[in-house]
A = this chain, B = another copy of it.
Amino acid sequence: MALRHDVRAIAKRKNLYREGDSWSEFYNLYSGWAFTFRMTADGHRQIFDILIPGDAINLSSLRLDRAPFTAQALTDVIICVFDRHMLDEHFHNEVARIHRLENYWLSALSSVKGNLMDLGRRSSTERIARFLLGIEARLRERGLAADGPFDFPLGHTHIADALGLTPVHVNRVISTFRKDGLIDLRDHSLHIKQPSELRSLSI
């Protein structure tokens, strides 16, 4: 692309942007190394990307108004700065269609990154709680679940394999959930009886 852009230098250990920042620029890493990450509530950092020269730093900026994670320079860094609206104009034709597709990819990507966060930095209890709540939320969005029990065809082994655990351990955790009256998971039906308590377990 022969697009007009500025260059900018950022010092080692400085943030390029922070999670939640609003941004209107797209960055490409020209020299140096950087990485992206998010923090869990209990202070663990999960890194998502190690960025090396040539990498797009914030692809998400093409579609999002706020940064979904923080980017920090590992070394002194030089970045190329593009105005994201200028990029839009450059892709002037069929913009709407491209945007729809990009949104699709973006949501898929951030969902997987969420899973990565779970596997890297959350306990088995947290992972399972979040998993169950996540499934319920997606079903609700589509009108496939309301308050009360809903269809849940996953076995312990499936949950284990989605979360990097063993079926045996999934069983133990779910047993405690059941004993504490948080959920009712039987046959192939799940009832989240105390959503707020379960949510508080999921951090």
Chain A interfacial positions (CB closer than 8 Å to B): 33, 35, 37, 44-48, 50, 52-54, 56, 59, 74-75, 91, 93-94, 97-98, 101-102, 104-106, 108-109, 112-113, 115-116, 119-121, 135, 138-139, 142, 144, 153-154, 158, 161-164
* Beyond A37-B161, A116-B119, 7 additional pairs, beta carbon < 8 A: A33-B154, A47-B161, A48-B112, A52-B139, A53-B142, A59-B105, A75-B153
| Choice from B50, B98, B135 contacting A162 with Cβ under 8 Å | B50
Q: Is the CB of B120 within 8 A of A163?
A: yes
Residues of B with C-beta under 8 A to A35: 154, 158, 162
Residues of B with C-beta under 8 A to A164: 46, 119-121
Residues of B with C-beta under 8 A to A53: 142, 144
Within the oligomer, what is the number of copies of this chain?
2
In whole angstroms, how far apart are the Cα atoms of A112 and B50 in the complex?
11
| Choice from B47, B101, B153 contacting A98 with Cβ under 8 Å | B101
Residues of B with C-beta under 8 A to A135: 50, 52
Residues of B with C-beta under 8 A to A48: 112
Q: Is the CB of B52 within 8 A of A162?
A: no
Residues of B with C-beta under 8 A to A120: 119, 161, 163-164
Q: Is the CB of A158 within 8 A of B98?
A: no
In whole angstroms, how far apart are the Cα atoms of A113 and B112 in the complex?
7
In whole angstroms, how far apart are the Cα atoms of A46 and B165 in the complex?
10
In whole angstroms, how far apart are the Cα atoms of A104 and B50 in the complex?
16
Q: Measured between C-beta atoms, what is the minimum distance from A59 to chain B in Å?
A: 7
Residues of B with C-beta under 8 A to A105: 59, 102, 105-106, 108-109
Q: Is the CB of B94 within 8 A of A47?
A: no
In whole angstroms, how far apart are the Cα atoms of A118 and B161 in the complex?
12
Closest B residue to A93 using CB positions: B94
Closest B residue to A39 using CB positions: B161
Q: Measured between C-beta atoms, what is the minimum distance from A182 to chain B in Å?
A: 20
